[in-house]
Amino acid sequence: MEVRAKKSLGQHFLVDLGAAQRIVAALGARPETPQAGRTDVLEIGPGMGVLTRYLLQREDINLKLVELDGESVQFLMSHFSGMAGRLHQADYLKLDVHKLFPGEYSVIGNFPYNISSQIFFKILDDRDRIPEVVCMIQKEVAERIAEGPGSKTYGILSVLLQAWYDIEYLFTVEPGAFAPPPKVRSAVIRLRRNDRTELLAGDSKVEEPLFRKVVKTAFGQRRKTLRNALRPLLPEGYDLSDPVLQMRAEQLGVDDFIALAARLSK
């Protein structure tokens, strides 16, 4: 039985076993976590199980899987033992992961490229329970997430994810590693939760909805200076000589955005 790749689900199945092994090896173990010393791990979109086979070999993790495609679920159930209770047919974006894991869990997967940004926003929402993410995504998106200020690819996801995670670009994967081959190159990145617990600028705490709004508004018109891009958010009487307003969004780091949001909240 083979699974037919469905364009509507953005499916491109990894067939390069060497790449699969490198992805699984990139996921760190956290022996201090519960579950008999094993790390709880959620694989998103296992497809035909090329990562799953190597994840199941690791004795340091407690693996669960979420897969939307019914055909892939049937394949996994018939090709891997012990899938009952471990494999869940569901849409990750609508899934209540708290029902699968009571505490922390790491995330791994070959993310469907058409919903990778939505997956990252859900990860952000549950960041205090997700210490690590290892994933393969479109190379352009991976570069955008991992880049620092000053790059043309640096953007909204870069800032929002880097506020809470340290991000590493691990390696590139060519189209030939997949069936069917995508039209773009892919890349593997690793996110590890940093020690930030609040968005602080000095003694001022910034509420996350405002921080996200400032970042999204700033990059919404990235060619404009922040004075113009953020005009809808500037409080009445705000000092327009603020030197940060003369800059563009791509020039600001995470701490710069937090400080700016703090000033806009006063």
pLDDT tens per residue, range 42-90: 999 998 999 999 999 999 999 999 999 889 999 999 999 989 999 999 9
Lowest mean pLDDT among 7-16, 133-142, 201-210: 7-16
Q: What is the pLDDT of residue 31?
A: 44
- Give the 3-state secondary structure of residue 89: strand
The CATH class of 7-193 is: alpha beta
Tell me: pLDDT of 118 over 70: yes
pLDDT at position 230 is 95
User: Cα(62)–Cα(155) distance, rounded to whole angstroms?
Assistant: 34
pLDDT at 10: 57
| Strand, helix or coil for residue 22 | helix
Domain boundaries, the chain: 7-193, 199-264
User: What CATH fold (topology level) applies to the domain 199-264?
Assistant: Helicase, Ruva Protein; domain 3 (1.10.8)
Distance CA 112, CA 93 (A): 12
Give the pLDDT score at 182. Answer: 85
Secondary structure (3-state) at 110: strand
